[in-house]
Amino acid sequence: WTPEIRQNVFGSYASVEYGAGVVDADFDEWRVGTNVIWSPVSGLDIGVEVLYASVNPEAPGVENDDAWEGRLRVQRDF
């Protein structure tokens, strides 16, 4: 964006399979998010982050679970 404002976009995916002995414990999970950080002066960061996560269990009768997360961060480095 500018020297004072930067943004990151990130994501991840995981597929966990335990094998034939514990099939009902298998699940898939994915996450996607972004953050924007403002650095008004050297050594000071003010940022906001938003993340969406979804867990998809493969066990019968267990529903998918998802969540929104947010974070505000202020960091001062000396």
Domain assignments of the chain as residue spans, ordered by start: 5-76
Here the tokens at position 16 are 């966990």
pTM for this model (two decimals): 0.71
CB-side exposure of 17: number of CA atoms within 13 Å?
Answer: 3
User: How many angstroms separate the CA atoms of 75 and 78, rounded?
Assistant: 10
Please check whether residue 30 is in contact with residue 64, taking contact to mean a CB–CB distance below 8 angstroms: no
Please check whether residue 68 is in contact with residue 57, taking contact to mean a CB–CB distance below 8 angstroms: no
Q: What does the pLDDT profile of the chain (78 residues) look like in tens digits?
A: 888 999 999 999 999 888 777 767 788 889 999 999 999 999 999 999 999 999 888 777 777 788 999 999 999 998
Look up the CATH architecture of domain 5-76: Single Sheet (2.20)
